[in-house]
Amino acid sequence: MDIVQFKHTLQPYLEKTLEDTMQRCLFDAPNPLVQEAVRHVSEIILAGGKRARPFVAYTMYSCLGGTEVDNIAELVCAFELFHAFALVHDDLIDHGLIRHGIPTLHAHLKRYMYSQGRLGDIDHIARSQALLVGDLLANWSFEILERTVPVNKMGSVLTQFHQMMNRVVLGEMLDLDVTTFADVSETEILRKTELKTAWYTFIYPMKIGAILSGAPEEMLSFCEMYGQDIGLAFQLQDDILDVYGSSAGIQKSVMLEIVNGQHTMLTEYVMHKAPARYRRELERIRGCNSVDPNRLRWLFTSCGAETYVRSEVTRYFDSARNMVFQQNVSEDTRSAWVGLVDYLAARTA
């Protein structure tokens, strides 16, 4: 099953999970704002997203002999609710206003309360309510696991899930921390990428899928190596797509983040590997209050940063493919794992 087919398969499970959760919330707290907050965050979840985490967990589970399709489809919804928690908090941190083409939760709640003539510091209250909904989403993800994971695998799965939560939060802390420095090393950028993308998006979902399938211990080591390469390639690919391939609105937002101090492998190349005149140009751009997307793209292309990062993406994806061919697995399993790499390598958004 490819990721497009998987997204169609997952959708009804996700819809039912969100509907059941909303009904429980309204039973406990029959409040219009609670209802609106849960309704809107459900709309954000269902409006879009790559569904990468549930997909790789499902793929690993099915490739390694798992057969409880309905149960695993419900179980992997936990990854989407947990990811929604991370996105709600991320939008608060980044002052994001749009997510999947609709207002972010805190932006929507602010507008909702203003439309009702509510009193008090509405901006603060809206952000606080969104923070609390994010906490609920994290809790709901654990409820799904407790309901769907077999008792004999519960301890192992929860250990991996808790570790995943630790690492993505620590990665976000590092991501914020590096913005307070004028310059950071490639090692620091790769470390935050490992935590926020490789471990969170690929390694832990794969390991949980493998554990649920009953795979041997050595397969967990493969998940770490394979997921590490895919995760690093995926994030570096995002760095390229954010600047060169996304919609104009996303490009401008991402480029403003770069101007405001965010560090990527593109900026690291300019600071450490490109001739000094390009470093001075990046410093000049970062000293401005506005961003010229064409100028920033010209800078990354002219100095060689774009070519370098694209070559790193290819190197990591090639390494992941080679790793698959070293595994003693069936041809169908090998084809599925290589197919995942090929799908990710070919994406344009």
Whole-number Cα distances in Å, 109 to 35, 36, 122, 123: 11, 8, 9, 9
Q: Are the C-beta atoms of residues 50 and 176 closer than 8 Å to each other?
A: no
Q: Quick one: pLDDT band at residue 262, thresholds 50, 70, 90?
A: confident
* pLDDT, position 293: 82
Q: Which residue has the higher pLDDT, 244 or 304?
A: 304
In this prediction, residues 186-201 reach a mean pLDDT of: 95
The arithmetic mean of pLDDT across residues 108-119, rounded, is 97
Domains of the chain: 1-148 (1.10.600.10), 151-349 (1.10.600.10)
Whether residue 290 has pLDDT greater than 90: no
pLDDT of residue 71: 92
Residue 299: which of 258, 247, 261 has the closest Cα?
Answer: 258
Per-residue pLDDT averaged across 176-180, rounded?
Answer: 91
pLDDT of residue 78: 97
Three-state DSSP at 279 gives helix
Q: What is the pLDDT of residues 29-83, one digit of tens each?
A: 999 999 999 999 999 999 988 899 999 999 999 999 999 988 999 999 999 999 9
Q: What is the pLDDT of residue 287?
A: 75
pLDDT at 256 over 70: no
CA torsion 261→253→100→113, rounded to 10°? 90
For residue 223, pLDDT over 80 is answered with yes
Distance CA 234, CA 24 (A): 37
Report d(CA 344, CA 298) in Å as an integer: 26
Residues 78, 80, 81, CA angle at the centre, nearest 5°?
A: 65
Percent of the chain with pLDDT over 70: 97
Per-residue pLDDT band for 252 (boundaries 50, 70, 90) equals low
* pLDDT, mean over the chain: 92
pLDDT category, 251, cuts 50, 70, 90?
low
- Radius of gyration in angstroms for the set of CA atoms belonging to the chain, rounded to a whole number: 21
* Beta strands 98-99; 102-103: pairing state: antiparallel
- Residue 148: the pLDDT is 96
Contacts of 156 (CB under 8 A, 6+ apart): 211
Task: Please give the pLDDT value at position 207.
Answer: 98
Q: Hunting for tokens 């390639």 — which residue is that?
A: 233
Residue 308 scores a pLDDT above 60: yes
pTM of structure: 0.92
- Tokens coding 1: 């099953």
Calculate the CA 233 to chain-centre distance.
14
